[in-house]
Amino acid sequence: MNAPPTPESPWWTLQRSDDRVLATAIHDGHGLRPEIAAAIRLDEAGRLREEDPYTGQAAAAAPTHVIAGRSRFEVDLNRGEDEAFYRTPEQAWGLDVWREPPAQALVDGSLRLHRAFYAMMGQLLDDIRDAHGAYALIDVHSYNHRRDGADAAPMPQDDAPDINIGTFSMPRERWAFLLDPLMEAMRGFDFNGRRLDVRENVAFQGRGALTRFVHERHPEHGCAIALEFKKFFMDEWNGQPDPGELAAMRGFIAHVADTARGLLDAHG
């Protein structure tokens, strides 16, 4: 399990290198600021189930990476500002998140973090674009496939690929030279002795705010790829990971970043 929430938990961590490829894990965070921790009804296990634990350690395999420290239940960095704070159960998979309707001051504190994150990302991406021209952002997430319960059957494989690549906001033809061979490289990766089922826009379509932000800000230079691991690497009900699978995830993202960099360099 990620570190317990503390008042000092970071908003995010950024490691920067001089690279045209970066990885993000904006749902990895589990921390809460004290006001949120006092107001939230949802227990820690319930929060963790809808967060993307361990995606940060995968994203950290890329030399440039950004990893969220705060829970999506404080602010969802992959939604637009008008939806980034879960006010109602309908915005949070039907979960009863709050002890009472959240005060506006609570909402405002979360949206301040959201605005700061996108200001930081805009500056970072502008600088990468200026230095390298075309760049790729690998936005690492994970998704549940056993929602009917710990002892129930998982989602059928036809509906739940091991890796779901979301491209909804991407100018797909512009980036086909990168995405198509990159997905083939993902399928060819030796993941603990097996090949992963990698498909596009099956379980999710990549409609998140971060990929949209990249494509709107730099439509000719920024390729943002939403990459969702099915939670085969952990028990999504008790939160326990498989260390061997986590190590393979790090290797997988390193391979994806290296391949993307090579493709971009070759394209000019």
Q: For position 9, what pLDDT does the model report? A: 84
Q: Where are the domains of the chain?
A: 12-267
Residue whose entry in the numeric block shows the structure tokens 């979960």? 95
- For 39, 141, 163, the CA distances from 158, given in Å and listed in that order, are 40, 19, 12
Q: What sign for the dihedral angle of Cα 120, 126, 129, 135?
A: positive
Q: What pLDDT tens digit does each residue of the chain (268 aa) get?
A: 444 545 568 999 999 999 999 999 999 999 999 999 999 999 999 999 999 999 999 999 999 999 999 999 999 999 999 999 999 999 999 999 999 999 999 999 999 999 999 999 999 999 999 999 999 999 999 999 999 888 889 999 999 999 999 999 999 999 999 999 999 999 999 999 999 999 999 999 889 999 999 999 999 999 999 999 999 999 999 999 999 999 999 999 999 999 999 999 999 7
Q: From CA 142, how far away is CA 28, in angstroms rounded?
A: 9
Is the CB of residue 36 less than 8 Å from the CB of residue 106? yes
φ, ψ of residue 232 in degrees (nearest 5): -75, -15
- For 38, 89, 106, the CA distances from 34, given in Å and listed in that order, are 6, 21, 11
φ, ψ of residue 40 in degrees (nearest 5): -80, 140
Q: Write out the CATH class of domain 12-267.
A: alpha beta
Q: For position 197, what pLDDT does the model report? A: 98
Q: Which two tokens stand for residue 201?
A: 């826009």
Q: From CA 72, how far away is CA 69, in angstroms rounded?
A: 9
